[in-house]
Amino acid sequence: MKLYCSTGALITSKNGRDYTLLPTFAQQLGDLCDGFEFMMYDSWYEVRKRLTGFLAESGLEFPTFHIEKRIGQEISREGDLSLVRERFTWNCEMAVAIGAKTLIFHLWDGVPSDRVIAHNIAQLPWLREIADGYGLTLTVENVVCNHADPLTHLTAIHHAYPDIPFTFDVKFAAFHDQLAVSFDEAHRWLWNEGAVRHIHISDYDGGYMEWECLRSLHPGEGKIDYPRIAAGLRKYGWDGSMTIESTSVRADGTLDAEKLRRSLGYLREIFAGDIFAGETFA
């Protein structure tokens, strides 16, 4: 199993979104992660060439690229698709420039969320065509919803476009009380038919759709049962990659590297080791 760290857990508004900090922060993590998932912010469009040049020369590995979230929000607003196309293309260009192979995409997002989900899903063919043109694999994430639920939408996407893969966020699934059902027999197609290619990891300490609790906690700070998830993945023979998204920046902008290293070590024990037999959700 490949375990990555999201740059969004390291570079935040608390340190001025200073991407030049990444090499220093990466050194503090040692060999506990196999690379980084680059989180794109909309404030970086104007410096995108300088940014990708810096990262390409940094020696860091970026196997996955999280597309800027407001693109999905613009689609949900039924806004200007020429702007969506332009920015999606910029994200693909950046992903290639830093060596990424997989895209993580919020097909719906923000306040408008999934209110026009059929419209959002209808954009997938041309979005995937652009990604394919850059040699990138487009994955759709099970983003939180205002109107329905993410598993319903992933199922609809799978029926319409069965070859489009997904990124599965355990926090978002827990937010909608969908962790257990995602591992039942009716949804085994998520895991053993190649539908889910990548998993996002952070903890959740709330109940059903408690918006005020929707933070990216570290494993053990919330209620998610990671050994049970690991057992479910082993049951279906899933063998993909994961990214930890748990926020690890202190109020002064410095990195709590010790805490992040503990979490990375724990995830390696749970998902790559054999010390936990675990019980499935069934």
Listed in sequence order, the residues at least 6 apart from 150 whose beta carbon sits closer than 8 Å to its beta carbon are 142, 143, 144, 172, 173, 176, 178
Query: 3-class SS at 140?
Result: strand
Specify if 282 maps to a domain.
no
In this prediction, residue 273 carries a pLDDT of: 67
pTM: 0.96
* Six-digit token string for 76: 């949900």
- Give the DSSP letter of residue 245: -
Q: With cut-offs at 50, 70 and 90, classify the pLDDT of residue 272.
A: confident
Bridge partners for 37 per DSSP: 6, 64
Given a contact cutoff of 8 angstroms between Cβ atoms, the answer to whether 2 and 199 are in contact is: no
Kindly report the backbone phi and psi dihedral angles of residue 194, in degrees, each rounded to the nearest multiple of 5, phi listed first.
Answer: 80, 10
Number of folded domains that form the chain: 1
How far apart, in whole angstroms, are the C-alpha atoms of residue 55 and residue 51? 6
Residue 275 has pLDDT above 50, yes or no: no
How far apart, in whole angstroms, are the C-alpha atoms of residue 113 and residue 161? 21
Residue 184 has pLDDT above 90, yes or no: yes
Residue with tokens 């043109």: 133
Q: What is the pLDDT of residues 85-113, one digit of tens each?
A: 999 999 999 999 999 999 999 999 999 99
Specify if 230 maps to a domain.
yes
In this prediction, residue 79 carries a pLDDT of: 82
The CATH number covering residue 158 comes to 3.20.20.150
Residue 282 has pLDDT above 70, yes or no: no
Question: Any idea what the Cα angle at residue 97 is, between residues 93 and 102, rounded to 5°?
Answer: 75
Listed in sequence order, the residues at least 6 apart from 169 whose beta carbon sits closer than 8 Å to its beta carbon are 141, 142, 143, 199, 200, 202, 245
Give percent of the chain above pLDDT 70. Answer: 97
Specify if 129 maps to a domain.
yes
In this prediction, residue 16 carries a pLDDT of: 97
Q: How many residues does the chain have?
A: 282
How far apart, in whole angstroms, are the C-alpha atoms of residue 215 and residue 133? 35
Q: From its phi and psi, is residue 67 left (phi > 0), alpha (psi between -120 and 50) or beta?
A: beta
How far apart, in whole angstroms, are the C-alpha atoms of residue 36 and residue 55? 11
Residue 123 has pLDDT above 90, yes or no: yes
In this prediction, residue 279 carries a pLDDT of: 72
Task: Tell me the residue range of the domain where 254 lies.
Answer: 2-272
Specify if 277 maps to a domain.
no
Residue 73 has pLDDT above 90, yes or no: yes
Specify if 239 maps to a domain.
yes
Mean pLDDT taken over the chain: 96
Q: What is the pLDDT of residues 134-149, one digit of tens each?
A: 999 999 999 999 999 9
Q: With cut-offs at 50, 70 and 90, classify the pLDDT of residue 12.
A: very high
Specify if 65 maps to a domain.
yes
Residue 174 has pLDDT above 50, yes or no: yes
Listed in sequence order, the residues at least 6 apart from 263 whose beta carbon sits closer than 8 Å to its beta carbon are 218, 219, 220, 244, 246
Residue 36 has pLDDT above 60, yes or no: yes
